[in-house]
């Protein structure tokens, strides 16, 4: 069994996939195909973080349908066959943040099903307990939820690496409030990073930055220093608590200018690597994109910022 640090090293560079692909409801409308996992590997990525929305599928007594599992089986199988680690990211953060107690039963029931189905899979399949706990799922309540979910998962997956992040949207600032079992060291802690939001989310309709555009990120000493300072705070926590770190999401929305996006993405990725973190860019398709599915081509400035071309 690999320890969490070695597992985190193997995760290396990654990209988020499949969260909003219509294939989950209509397999015939799939945007992602077999070839895309191969292209991800060939580009130099080491992992894919598969964003899962099982609440949209689960039927009576929170039972996940065979059709939904067949799609996930495909995604995991294609990832592994292409030499990519597969992070199963429980991405129902909106429902869990809005009504954690009302959704607790199906949250735990879903993990029982996922843990059972993938218990025989190799260690390159990693479980992420919940993306971005938020709002009503306070850091304190999240500590209780994660403990219960871990207990369920560990019954069938005693040696599988788990990924768990802090409350308040996996914020670096909430690491101090995260409580993990001291006797379970096979955990990678994840944080997300989109600072400064006025740049990374400019023009994004679901945020309070929707009406702001034209904000550049020039890579000044001050701008780079803010990232370095934030990452150093997270790393200090990680060293005190002896936990490896995954930067599970970062990126800049498509309405920012490409030069600024590329500079920012490169700075964040290189700084994460410099201090020994793995990372997964948000995201392959949909928005913040690194791959243009309709035109079947990489967004080369973003790809090259993430995976610098070899000289």
When pLDDT is averaged across residues 64-85 and rounded to a whole number, the result is 97
**Chain centroid to CA 66:** 24
Confidence of residue 249 (pLDDT cuts 50, 70, 90): very high
Residues 187-223 have pLDDT tens digits of: 999 999 999 999 999 999 999 988 889 999 999 999 9
If you average pLDDT over residues 240-255, what whole number do you get?
98
DSSP E strands in 133-275: the ranges are 162-164, 187-193, 245-250
Residues with Cβ < 8 Å from 122, sequence gap 6 or more?
Answer: 80
Strands (E), the chain: 13-17, 47-52, 85-90, 125-128, 162-164, 187-193, 245-250, 278-281, 291-292, 297-298
3-state secondary structure of 125: strand
Other beta carbons within 10 Å of 132: 23
DSSP notation for 252-271? --TTS-HHHHHHHHHHHHHH
Name 16's bridge partners. 49
What is the fold of 4-306? Answer: TIM Barrel (3.20.20)
Cis peptide before 283 (omega within 30 of 0): yes
In angstroms, the Cα distances linking 154 to 18, 142, 157, 166, 196 are 26, 18, 5, 20, 37
Nearest to 111, CA basis, from 129, 86, 92, 137: 129
For residue 298, the cross-strand partners are: 291
- A 10 A CB-CB count for 73 gives 14
Q: What are 164's two structure tokens?
A: 């768990």
pLDDT over 60 (residue 284): yes
Half-sphere exposure (Cβ direction) of 129: Cα atoms closer than 13 Å: 30
pLDDT value for 310: 85
pLDDT bin (cut points 50, 70, 90) of residue 311 is low
Asked whether the bond before 109 is cis by omega within 30 degrees of 0, the reply is no
How is residue 293 annotated by DSSP? T
> What does the mean pLDDT of the chain come to?
96
Q: What digits encode the pLDDT tens for the residues 86-133?
A: 999 999 999 999 999 999 999 999 999 999 999 999 999 999 999 999
């Amino acid at each position: 069994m690999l320890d969490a640090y070695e597992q985190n090293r193997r995760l290396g560079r990654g990209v988020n996939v499949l969260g909003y692909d219509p294939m989950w409801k209509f397999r015939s409308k799939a945007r992602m195909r077999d070839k895309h996992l191969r292209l991800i590997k060939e580009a130099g990525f080491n992992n894919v973080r598969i964003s899962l929305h099982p609440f949209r599928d689960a039927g009576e007594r929170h039972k996940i349908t065979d059709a939904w599992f067949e799609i996930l089986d495909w995604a995991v199988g294609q990832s592994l066959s292409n030499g990519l680690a597969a992070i199963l990211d429980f991405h129902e953060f909106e429902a869990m943040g809005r009504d954690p107690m009302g959704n607790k039963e199906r949250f735990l029931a879903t993990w029982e099903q996922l843990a059972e189905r993938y218990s025989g899979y190799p260690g390159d399949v990693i479980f992420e307990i919940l993306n971005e706990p938020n709002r009503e799922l306070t850091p304190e309540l999240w500590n209780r939820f994660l403990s219960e979910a871990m207990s369920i998962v560990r019954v069938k997956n005693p040696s599988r690496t788990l990924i768990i992040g802090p409350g308040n949207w996996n914020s670096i600032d909430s690491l101090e409030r995260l409580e993990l079992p001291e006797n379970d060291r096979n955990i990678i802690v994840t944080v997300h990073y989109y600072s400064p939001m006025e740049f990374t989310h400019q023009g994004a309709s679901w945020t309070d930055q929707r009406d702001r555009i034209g904000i550049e990120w020039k890579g000044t000493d001050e701008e780079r220093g803010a990232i370095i300072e934030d990452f150093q705070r997270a790393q200090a926590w990680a060293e005190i608590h002896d936990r490896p770190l995954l930067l599970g999401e970062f990126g800049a929305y498509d309405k920012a200018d490409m030069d600024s996006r590329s500079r920012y993405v490169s700075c964040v990725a290189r700084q994460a690597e410099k201090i020994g973190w793995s990372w997964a860019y948000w995201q392959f398709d949909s928005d913040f994109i690194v791959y243009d599915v309709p035109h079947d081509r990489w967004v080369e400035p973003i790809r090259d910022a993430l995976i610098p071309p070899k000289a």
